[in-house]
């Protein structure tokens, strides 16, 4: 059995096993592949990568808080992931452990499917971790006009700006939480890349005051459990256009699936399994 895991901390909230195992069954691979959760501390990262290298694991998705920390332990990182500064997928190739970033590619798909106009737009990004790096990279590659990055520590937000501004013409700036009352006035998009509001972390909380939201703002939350976070609920109440994290989960998951198996995943099966789970939980 080839074992693939979601490694991070926390992970028990994740729907990734449900989605990927449904895809394995649909393709008749359930006796060959299995996807599970692995709570992992930072001091266990090196040993975990070694376990993939020797074949104890076939591959992995990487989540909070390890998307950046794990990079130093990898045999190879794709050029794109190196530029972004984070990885979310590990796979084996010629006895090497390769790290890539399917979040960024998944985001491009989400923007395209949602018909969100990025070129020339102004965006506020909340957070400066691995997910935020993917978001800023994706927005910049689509020629966003300017991006303001908020984080708890200004240093980390500035590091993100310095790492990515050399690759694109998009204007990048850093700021420290809390979000100022006038910050969203001139912006078109708000993207939450923090875990604030996530089940198992801080469900019911929001990273931004609802009074700052405007009805002409597009609000996207990368969190997918719960699907409607407090941020998205309040944004919907104001009249904002909203995008939840399920679309990105499926998009990036499909790309990861192909890295591990070499096969195109049954995306409809993955989506339907997730939606049935969500419907059951909402009753």
Distance from C-alpha of 78 to C-alpha of 10, rounded to nearest angstrom: 26
Note if 67 is an active site residue: yes
- Tell me how far apart the alpha carbons of residues 42 and 8 are, in angstroms, rounded to a whole number: 9
Give every CB contact of residue 252 below 8 A, 6+ residues apart in sequence.
Answer: 88, 89, 102, 103, 105, 106, 107
| Closest to 158 (Cα-Cα) out of 141, 172, 170 | 172
- For residue 118 the two structure tokens come to 């990025």
Integer Cα distance of 220 and 202 in angstroms: 18
* 39 neighbors 101 (Cβ within 8 angstroms): no
The catalytic residue among 67, 79, 209, 277 is: 67
Separation between Cα atoms, residue 150 and residue 172, nearest integer Å: 11
Helices (H), 56-187: 79-84, 102-114, 130-141, 154-164
What CA–CA distance (Å, rounded) separates 70 from 49? 8
Residue 185: which residues within 8 A CB-CB, separation 6 or more?
A: 214
The 8-class DSSP code of residue 236 comes to H
Active site residues per annotation: 67
């Amino acid at each position: 059995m080839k074992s693939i895991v979601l490694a991070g901390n926390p992970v028990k909230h994740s729907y990734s096993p449900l989605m990927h195992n449904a895809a394995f069954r649909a393709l008749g691979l359930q006796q060959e592949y299995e996807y599970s959760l692995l709570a992992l501390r930072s001091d266990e990262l090196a040993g975990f990568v070694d376990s993939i290298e020797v074949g104890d694991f076939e591959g992995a998705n990487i989540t909070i808080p390890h998307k950046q920390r794990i990079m130093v332990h990898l045999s190879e990182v794709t050029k794109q992931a190196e530029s972004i500064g984070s990885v979310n997928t590990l796979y084996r190739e010629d006895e090497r452990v390769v790290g890539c970033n399917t979040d960024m590619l998944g985001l491009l798909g989400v923007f395209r499917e949602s018909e969100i106009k990025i070129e020339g737009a102004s965006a506020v990004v909340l957070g400066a971790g691995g997910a935020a790096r993917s978001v800023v990279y994706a927005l910049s590659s689509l020629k966003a006009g300017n991006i303001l990055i908020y984080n708890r520590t200004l240093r980390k937000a500035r590091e993100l700006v310095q790492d990515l501004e050399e690759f694109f013409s998009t204007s990048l700036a850093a700021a420290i939480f809390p979000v100022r009352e006038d910050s969203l006035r001139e912006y078109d998009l708000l993207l939450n890349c923090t875990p604030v509001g996530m089940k198992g972390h801080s469900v019911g909380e929001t990273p931004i005051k609802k009074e700052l939201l405007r009805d002409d703002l597009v609000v996207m939350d990368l969190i997918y459990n719960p699907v409607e976070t407090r941020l998205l609920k309040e944004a919907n109440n104001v009249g904002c256009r909203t995008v939840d994290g399920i679309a990105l989960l499926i998009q990036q998951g499909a790309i990861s699936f192909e890295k591990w198996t070499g096969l195109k995943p049954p995306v409809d099966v993955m989506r339907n399994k997730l939606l049935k789970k969500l419907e059951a939980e909402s009753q």
